[in-house]
Structure 1
Amino acid sequence: MKRVIKIIAWTVFGLVISLFALLALFMYKVQNGFPVSYETEKPNLSLGANQPAILLFSKTTGFRHGESIDASKPIIQAMAKKNAWTVFETEEGGVFNEEQLSKFKLVIFNNSTGRVLNDEQQAALEKYVENGGSLMGIHGAGDNSHHWDWYVANLLGTTFSHHPLNPQFQKAQVQLEVGADSSFKASLPAAWEGNDEWYVFFNQPKDAQVVYYIDGEKILPSGNMLWMKDKNFGMGKYHPVAWHKRAGKGKTFYTSMGHSQEVWANPAFSQLIEQGIRWSISK
């Protein structure tokens, strides 16, 4: 009997250790990316004549917000039809070359996580933006999995720390920044209720114009989990959730909202994305 108990105990112990090891590996991969392959073949582009072209890029090598990505595509396509834009959807990085990027007014990193472009492709995107192109990032595009200094500095202007875990999703009043650029905030609602996974950054975004913010003192910001004991802080009362910046001659816009498909069902969020696209492709 004692032998049986010992066998059971060691089996349970082994399973617990294995689960911890798998969780640790998963967390490492989320932060540092899963195995990466880089697509280099140039795609055939079929873009609408005399219509501003948008590159909707949804490749992930880190955590994949699959439901949000799937929900976003028909909504952005509907926006394009309404506004006479053309959208090219892809999850392959071959389009990131100087010749083909020049055909787009805007590149959207649609919850794109991890290292998704090789060095040459990253350089092509940097040149595209600094010479007058626009770059937009949605939610996961702002986590710390990209390992790309230019991208972090010019899209975010700050560094991701964590997101709340208990609870992970929380309701918050999303407030329009009074001093926001009038050309951006036109037609945007002054306030609305969001239910999202609120990203916490180490600092306020540098050299950025905030569009929307929440009261960071009205959410529970702790991201402590198992061995992570230093993620119990937030950004304070003024917690930006959407902002834009300049990068050379180009523009960038980022919103940390957009974790789930339910967020895309909120008309106010979709309106923000639509206005962000309009602003990004305007001269």
Structure 2
Amino acid sequence: MADPALLVYTRTTGYRHDSIPAGVAALRALGGFEVHAHEDPAALEEPLDRYAAVVFLSTSGEVLTPAGRERLAAYVEGGGGFVGVHAAACTEDDWPYYGDLLGARFAGHPPVQPGRVLVEDRDHPATRHLPPVWEVTDEWYDFRACPRRTAHVLLRADESSYTGGTMGDDHPLAWCRAQGAGRVFYTALGHTVEAYDDPLFRAHLRGGITWAAGR
């Protein structure tokens, strides 16, 4: 039996992360999923039901056509899985539905630096392998609003462990939520090329994708 398929979408019309190729390679290496990587927005205009999940991997700017927006919304509302990684929160600013789908929108970030991630949920597939305090080096995204009202927070930042955070004590970094009949997982981590070689981060991605795909 063939592995379930993921549509991994990496189109950018804003900032483009150098780590995108490493991210695609890491997703291919996870196993258990057949990865279909696309940059062409036409890929989102086709029927999406054959995919276990759609992954926006550091997309940025406006990356969908009107038809693609309709397809994606119908797919998730109908029970499809959606995963956003890092700059997926800097995407489709002109489409209000997308902000609701993801749970929060990007506001800014300080320079890349080491800091501490605090695990809020030790039982979720995306986090059960992590230590309670996870030391990482990343680009610590701030968000325009806290997603906690509509999402289940999995990880948050310890702003006392780095400089430049703006959200205070309640600074979510990864969360999951329901959208219609679908499942949404987002992680703000994944800025650096090195992140995708980290076994803990790869397992974080695998768990989040597996959960979003309902597997």
Question: TM-score higher than 0.5 here?
Answer: yes
Number of the residue aligned with 1:13? none
- Look up the match of 1:95: 43
Q: Deviations over 1:198-238 (max 9, x none)?
A: 111122103111111121233222xxxxxxxxxxx611022
2:120 corresponds to which of 158, 177, 202: 177
Compute the displacement of 1:144 (Å): 5.8
Q: Is the 8 A contact 1:175 1:191 kept in 2?
A: yes
SS in structure 2 at match of 1:238: coil
Paired residue for 1:112?
A: 59
Contact 2:53 2:83 in 1 (8 A): yes
In 2, Cα distance between equivalents of 1:175 and 1:151: 27
Of residues 130, 142, 154, the one that matches 1:211 is 154
Following superposition, the deviation at residue 98 of structure 1 comes to 5.2
- Alignment correspondent of 1:16: none
Aligned to 1:277: 209
1:259 lines up with 2:207 in the alignment: no
State, as a whole percentage, how many aligned pairs show the same letter.
Answer: 34
The higher-RCO structure (CA 8 Å, 6+ apart) is 2
Instruction: Give the direction of change, closer, same or farther, for the CA distance of 1:51–1:258 in structure 2 (3 Å limit).
Output: same
Q: What secondary structure, in the 3-state scheme, does the structure 2 residue paired with 1:136 have?
A: strand
Provide the rounded CA distance (Å) in 1 between the counterparts of 2:141 and 2:37.
26
Please tell me the root mean square deviation across aligned C-alpha atoms, in Å. Answer: 1.8
In the TM superposition, what is the alpha-carbon distance from 1:190 to its structure 2 partner? Answer: 2.8
Show the counterpart of 2:175: 243
Deviations 1:34-54 (A, max 9, x none): xxxxxxxxxxxxxxx532110
SS at match of 1:172: strand
Counterpart-to-counterpart distance in 2, 1:79 and 1:182: 18
Q: 1:159 to 1:73 in 2, by over 3 A?
A: closer
Query: Where do 1:150-229 residues align within 5 Å?
Result: 150-155=97-102, 157-164=103-110, 168-178=111-121, 182=124, 184-205=126-147, 206-221=149-164
Give the TM-score of the pair, scaled to structure 1. Answer: 0.71
Q: Letter of the 1:52 partner, please give it.
A: P
Whichever structure has more helix as a proportion of its residues is 1
The Cα shift of 1:182 comes to: 4.0
Aligned match of 1:68 = 19
List per-residue Cα deviations over 1:15-59 (Å, max 9, x = no partner): xxxxxxxxxxxxxxxxxxxxxxxxxxxxxxxxxx53211001111
Q: 1:96 to 1:144 in 2, by over 3 A?
A: closer
Name the structure with the higher strand share: 2
Q: What runs of 5+ residues in structure 2 fail to find an aligned partner? A: none
Maintained 8 Å contact 2:54/2:81: yes
- Report the alpha carbon displacement of residue 147 of structure 1 after superposing the two structures with TM: 2.0
Give ranges in structure 1 of 5+ residues lacking alignment.
1-48, 222-232
